A and B are shown apart, each in its own frame.
Chain A
Amino acid sequence: MTDGAPGNAVVLQSVSREYVEGDVAVVALKDVSMTIPRGRFSMLVGPSGSGKTTLLNIIGCIDQQTSGHVEVCGHDIKALSDNRVADFRAENIGFIFQGFNLLPVLTAQENVEYALLLLGFSASERQSRARAMLSRVGLGDHLHHRPNQLSGGQKQRVAIARALAKDPEIVLADEPTANLDSETGRQIIDLMRTMQREFHTSFIFSTHDPQLISEADETYRIRDGIVVERSVKELVA
């Protein structure tokens, strides 16, 4: 399995995903084969309903393919139990959602700490990590604000801090700028880019935001559940 080499964050071979809605079978992904290298800013691009979110869910181990083979960070996800998959997500994958998905009853700092709960850190370690990461995303003076006291951009910064605080292999972001105005979206993109370079994390996005696509190291264009095009930006030495 040459594609499963250490240089690849994700390897998909002949992956298909079908849903049954009522009596109708819906094919979301059709025989997708692709590799996403580590440490890159990768975009899954396509119109609504093209299958990019389904692909992102499978890469994020929160959905499973109907057929085919998926390796994430070198692990065959389908071979793992439900609990082991959860543990794998906790250790290796960070999520940034379009709707931010912060827990409304927790402060910014607690939301970041929440993601660290499962990793065996002590309470003081969790707190210091959360504070440091929030400072890093520019929210050092908003530690004790709850989500309803933050703007959309600030919420997404908390989500970025939450995703990166555990130092994951991969950060998956599903249309992270869709709910933000263009200026705030630009700032969030710059922040993610900076963080990606700083932490050498693999960022994989699903998006159709041109601002975000322009930042991509690699772009995978998807249409009707099929990867129709892959384009790679030349890396500047």
Chain B
Amino acid sequence: MIIRIASRSILRNARRSTATIAAVAVGAVAMLSFSAFKNQTMIGLQTAIVERAGHLTIFREGYNDFGTANPAAYDIAGYTELLGTLRTDPELSPMINVATPVVALGGIASNFALDTSKTFAGQGILPSDRDKMQRWNEYGLSGGAFQTTGLRDDDSNRGVVGSGLARMLGFCEALGGQDCPRSAGHSAATDADKRDFTALVGSDRELNRTVSTTPRIDLLASTAGGAPNIVQMDIGQATKIGAKELDDSFVRMHIGLAQRLLYGNAEPRATSIDVQLHHTADLPAAIDRIKTLNRTGKLGLEVRDFAELTPSYGQIVGMYTAIFAFISIVIGIVVLFSIVNTMSMTVMERINEIGTSRALGFRRSRIGMQFLAEGVLLGTVGATAGVAIAVALVTTINGLGLSWMPPGATVPTPFRLLLAGQEASVFATWLALVLISVVATVLPAMRAARMTTVDSLRHV
């Protein structure tokens, strides 16, 4: 009977009830839509990172603190055995999609023909592994389009460079770049300088006199032993990197070329192992297992997840979470006062009914429960309608086939608001609005319950 009276009382003031339900529903739609956008941004960012560098990276102990200054001093000898262990471990292997070696290095890249050079930050990778990593699409955000490395396992002389580095080294047009600016400067290098650098590369040049149309650069770095070393790299393509500093210095090459440059004829090594899992949810278990293997095998390694290695990820997640919390609080307050207002008016309009019910023998608590039921019903109907509208809205927007450039991405990705798979979050939003309606109704319900019977019956 309580619910029957509550529902009919709501219908009795249809216009006011509709306005209140609409306020709750709009609040739910706003919260869920922004939540879906936040999820898309965070998961899109996570996808971009995981596609590029995997879920976790294994380094030699100390690499993160000191190794970037001297990667070769913190490399992983016998990395192929380590890869074998990871790929065959009965606990880890079902979780792993790709485990691949990386050689990080830095040096000077130059275009001899144009007399230009630029420092570079490079990475040696195994192309087939990286291409497989690029296909990781746990959340269905890529829309089926994958960015490949543009490299092949059987061509160890090839690499790709950042579009900024390509421009500086004079390969913008040759690599099919658009809006290639002309350098207004002039060469500062003297003939003597040229000769000095040429002397370093001379032996290779003499050996490779064949004329090639492929843009080619020389990479100079010091080996693990400290000696200068140079290799030539054919540039397969220039790729745009999100951050300009990185775009102006990025070089990615076949791991064989990077190992030749860094280790010369010595045993090839890797500076890290990138591991990509099938599912992000397995990350804690995978880290635990790798730590166990490291401890029991005394491997002297350390493991870091993608969030540790990409601090901006945590910052962006934190920022969006804070914005979501702020919006939710504002919406919650609006919904709260909307229901407080409606229920207060309802109580004032039904004072005589309250007196009648009390005279018939209903306890104060029962009177309060009656109004509480009405408030909760309003909130529940509004929140449920809001969830339904939000799902319909998100489905419609996703069906429009829009694309955008999320933070951290270098190519447009499909604009897909994510509510699917976020059932807990949707339920939490629904529950929060219902709880707000409970809180909003408590005061009016208490006021109704406290009324004196005689005064209520006198009220006209």
Contacts and interface: CB of A to CB of B under 8 A. Distances in A.
A60 B359 contact: yes
Contact of A114 (B1, B12, B355): B1
Contacts of A7: none
Contact of A62 (B4, B5, B358, B364): B358
Interface string B339-366: 0000000000000110111111111100
A137 B73 CA distance: 102
Contacts of A117: 1
Contacts of A115: 360-361
A103 B359 contact: no
Interface residues of A, number: 28
A89 B364 contact: no
A95 B5 contact: no
Given A104-B12, A105-B9, A106-B8, A97 B358 contact: no
A180 interface: no
A101 B12 CA distance: 17
Tell which of B4, B353, B361, B457 has the most Cβ of chain A within 10 Å: B361
B77 interface: no
B454 interface: yes
A110 interface: yes
Contacts of A105: 5, 8-9, 11-12
Which of B11, B359, B364, B454 has the most A CB atoms < 10 Å from its CB? B359
B12 A86 contact: no
A201 B43 CA distance: 74
Nearest to A159: B356
Interface string A80-117: 00110011111101010101010111100010011101
Given A106-B5, A106-B8, A97 B356 contact: yes
A103 B11 CA distance: 14
A146 B425 CA distance: 43
Interface residues of B, number: 22
A95 B454 contact: no
Nearest to A91: B361
A57 interface: yes
B5 A86 contact: no
A37 B364 CA distance: 31
Given A57-B454, A62-B453, A63-B454, A118 B5 contact: no
Interface in A45-98: 57, 60, 62-63, 82-83, 86-91, 93, 95, 97
Interface in A160-199: 162
A86 B358 CA distance: 7
A64 to B, nearest CB: 10
Given A105-B9, A105-B12, A90 B361 contact: yes
Given A63-B454, A106-B5, A89 B360 contact: yes
A60 B454 CA distance: 10
Given A62-B453, A110-B4, A118 B356 contact: no
B360 A113 contact: no
Residue picked from A97, A105, A114, A115, most chain B C-beta under 10 Å: A105
Nearest to A123: B1
Chain B interface, >50% SS class: helix
A169 to B, nearest CB: 13
Contacts of B12: 104-105
Interface in A107-161: 110, 113-115, 117-118
Contacts of A89: 359-361
B361 A82 contact: no
Contacts of B1: 110, 113-114, 117
Contacts of A93: 361
Contacts of B353: 101, 103-104
A62 B361 contact: no
A87 B366 CA distance: 12
A105 B411 CA distance: 60
Interface in B1-28: 1, 4-5, 8-9, 11-12
A40 B5 CA distance: 36
Contacts of A87: 361, 363
Contacts of A106: 4-5, 8
Most buried by A among B4, B5, B9, B360: B360
Contacts of B358: 62, 86
B177 to A, nearest CB: 74
A93 B453 CA distance: 15
B361 A101 contact: no
B363 A101 contact: no
Contacts of B352: 99, 101
B457 A103 contact: no
A64 B12 CA distance: 35
A135 B151 CA distance: 91
B362 A86 contact: yes
Contacts of A110: 1, 4
B359 A118 contact: no
A16 B457 CA distance: 21
Nearest to B9: A105
A143 to B, nearest CB: 15
Contact of A82 (B11, B356, B359, B364): B364
Minimum-distance CB pairs A-B, first 6 = A90-B361, A105-B8, A62-B453, A89-B361, A101-B356, A86-B363
24 contacts: A57-B454, A62-B358, A62-B454, A62-B457, A82-B363, A82-B364, A83-B364, A86-B362, A86-B363, A87-B363, A88-B361, A90-B362, A95-B360, A101-B352, A101-B355, A104-B12, A105-B8, A106-B4, A106-B5, A106-B8, A110-B1, A110-B4, A114-B1, A115-B360
Given A60-B359, A97-B356, A118-B362, 15 more contacts: A82-B363, A82-B364, A87-B361, A88-B361, A90-B361, A95-B359, A101-B352, A101-B353, A101-B356, A103-B5, A103-B357, A106-B5, A110-B1, A110-B4, A115-B360
Interface of A: 57, 60, 62-63, 82-83, 86-91, 93, 95, 97, 99, 101, 103-106, 110, 113-115, 117-118, 162
